Structure formats: structure tokens, C-alpha cells
A = this chain, B = another copy of it.
Amino acid sequence: MAGNSFGKLFKLITFGESHGKAIGGIIDGCPAGITIDFEAIQNEMNRRKPGQSKIVTQRKEADEVEFYSGIFEGQTTGTPIGFVIHNTNQKSKDYSHIKDVYRPSHADYTYEKKYGRRDYRGGGRSSARETACRVVAGAIAKQMLSELKINAYTSSVGDIFCEKPYQDLDFSKTETNAIRCPDDATAEKMISKVQEIKKQGDTVGGTITCVIQNVPVGLGEPVFDKLHAELGKAMLSINAVKGFEYGSGFCGARMKGSEHNDLFNDDGTTKTNLSGGVQGGISNGMDIYFRVAFKPVATVLQKQDALNSDGDIIEMQGKGRHDPCVVPRAVPIVEAMAALVMADYVLLRRQETKDW
């Protein structure tokens, strides 16, 4: 209820602050009998972790997951999977200089007002470090959903867009460049853009597109728990996300019905897919695709005004190791959250239809 859990049947609950001893989580509801590929989990972690390339933060975190329960002899047992990621790279320096400072467009102010206190070392609970736990759980969800193909990629950085539709992209190329855009030419431009921004001590936003393929018909619940509504919530729960659209999205709002309707083929597939794979909140078997907007990282390495707890405006300057653009590291997070949503709906689907 307090907001630290996600999912109904395949459920993740996480804990941990960026500068505490450890972060971690519990996956409750993962079915028994799934063979766990630990290397695949670590690979996902490595896609998210800091220090992986020149265009992300140079902080170093091992980000090694330790599993404490729920996996026995290499397989899930049906009992909760508890896991922990120790924080190894918290700088022991004194944070007291930012103890009483609310950085602009960070959650310092709102956390303090809400809780009457906060762990002021780094972002505490509001830090994106928490998303490491989502990547662990998402990696397990992916292994449970081996039929599904979930591919996210960077579709824009600032005003540089990947103009090709996803159908023309080769997702196997996403991991071949630091920005995670499967179109080489665009990737290069994006990387230059980030480097330029970084030199300015500034940051830049971007978008991620995610495509889910091989989806069976019938996933999703009616009315409030529509499949795309839950995907939307999942994405909007990621740090720095400002928007979500699926299928035709905001462009669809400019169209006419005669243009927008997806006409059927006789096998139930559709000739077009402006619907984005979902009708009435339920998957129709076509590709699900959606786009997620990320704002620029709030910590800029330039002088800025901030507020302190005495109500004074003070000048501060971000320093240290920060991401000039969060998007490439957010690609595995988007995939992880998509996997968590799909895992939940698959389990919900199972109980609707089968005899026991």
C-alpha cells in the first residue's frame, strides 16, 4: 500500500536507499519450476549499471545480486525469492553540506515534507538506484515468459529521433552501441549529442520505444486494469518519466476514425496496428508497442539556485559522477517493467481459463 510493491500475482516488493547498506527485494508469486539463468540476470544488471560506457555516469557499482531464497537446485520453488544487492560504492564523504538543501527538480523537498525527514545521502529512496531491483525481477519474469520477445531501445535523444519504424529495425543491434539505438547512423548522432551535452555540464532527455512480440490473445483485464493502463503505470513509475503513449498515441488523437481503424485479416490479425496490440484493454495478438518520455536528469554540473531548509535561496553546483542522459541505462528498466506487467497478466490469464 505504501507504494513499494508492484503486481498482483507476480509481485515485486523492493527496499533500500542509494547509500544504505543494501537494496533488495522479494518476488512473491513466481511459479515453481522455472530454471534460472543467473548469467542472464547479471547481463541485465550490467546493461543498467553505472560505468558501463563513456556516456553514462562513471560511478562504479558491482551490482551483484545475491539470492537468499526461493531457488533450489537451479529452479524456482514457488516460494518467495529474496535477493539483495549490496551498496559497495557509497562514498564515505560527508554529505552534511547537502543535508539541508533541496535540489531543484529532485525529490528532496517532497520527501522531507512528506516524511518529516529523509536519508539525505544521495537521493535516498528516490534514487534511481532502486531500479536495479526491478531489473532483477524483470530478468526472472523474462525467463518465465520465454515465448514473449520484449525489446526496448532508445528512440530519441533531445531532438535526434530514430525515424525508422520499429519494424525496420534489427533489435539484435541494440546492444552494439552505447546509446542502445539499433539504427547505427542514428546511434552515432545520439552519442555525439550526449557527448556535446556532457561537455556543457548539462543533461538531455529522450524517449524509449518498447515492443512486445509473440503475445497471445486475451491478456489484460477489463475496465480499470486494462493491459495498456498497467503498462502505462509501470513506465510512469520509473524515475524521470513524463509521458507514455501506445499504438498511435498522441498522433492518434489527430486522426479520423476511418483512417485509424485496424481492419481485420481473416485470421483475426489486423492489416494495420494503430491499436498497438490492445483492444478494450486486452491483447489481440498483434505487437504491443509503446513509447516512454524521459526528462533530462536534474543534476547538472552548472551553478544553480537551490533552497535550503531555512528558506534561503543558495547557489549550488552539482558535482561528481552523474548521467548526462539517463535513456541508455533506462532501456533495460523499461524492458524489466514490461516483463513484470506481462508476467502478472499471464498469471491472471491462467486462472481465468483452465480446469484444475
Contact = CB atoms under 8 A, between A and B. Distances in A.
Interface string A321-356: 000000000000000000000000011111111111
B356 A216 contact: yes
Each complex incorporates copies of this chain amounting to 4
A55 to B, nearest CB: 15
A3 B223 contact: yes
20 contacts: A1-B9, A4-B26, A15-B81, A16-B80, A32-B115, A33-B115, A68-B84, A78-B117, A82-B84, A106-B279, A107-B282, A114-B282, A158-B255, A229-B232, A243-B253, A253-B293, A253-B295, A257-B296, A261-B298, A266-B307
A264 B300 CA distance: 16
Interface string A261-302: 111111110100011101111111000000001111111101
A172 to B, nearest CB: 26
Interface in A205-252: 205-207, 216-218, 220-226, 228-230, 232-234, 236-237, 239, 242-250, 252
Most buried by B among A29, A110, A125: A110
User: What's the interface size class on A, roughly?
Assistant: 35 or more
A97 interface: no
B224 A5 contact: yes
A2 interface: yes
Contact of A237 (B22, B78, B225, B346): B225
A174 interface: no
A8 interface: yes
Contact of A295 (B15, B243, B260, B298): B260
A110 B217 contact: yes
Nearest to A133: B223
